[in-house]
Amino acid sequence: MREAASLIGRAKKYLKSSRMLLVDGDYESSVSQSYYAMFYSAEAVLTEPIRKEA
């Protein structure tokens, strides 16, 4: 769980950066930062074990 939380924190940092770049009109860099936000979010999901419903 700690690793996933750390990865989500990293994703939020990249998303915040992406928004700031978008407002500044730096679209290419904004897309790059958005990619990393998505990447770390997906990695966080994949680090969690699969739970089986009863």
The per-residue pLDDT string of the chain (54 residues; one tens digit each, 9 = 90 and over) reads 789 999 999 999 999 999 999 999 999 999 999 999 999 999 999 998 888 886
Report how many domains make up the chain.
Answer: 1
Domain residues for the domain of 36 are 2-47
- Tell whether 53 is covered by a domain: no
Answer whether residue 13 is part of any domain: yes
pLDDT of residue 39: 98
* Residue 42: both structure tokens together: 């997906």
Domain contains 39: yes
Percent of the chain with pLDDT over 90: 83
The candidate with the shortest Cα–Cα distance to 44, out of 7, 14, 11, is 7
Tokens of 36: 């990393």
Assess if residue 52 is contained within a domain.
Answer: no
Tell me how long the chain is: 54
Residue 7 lies in a domain: yes
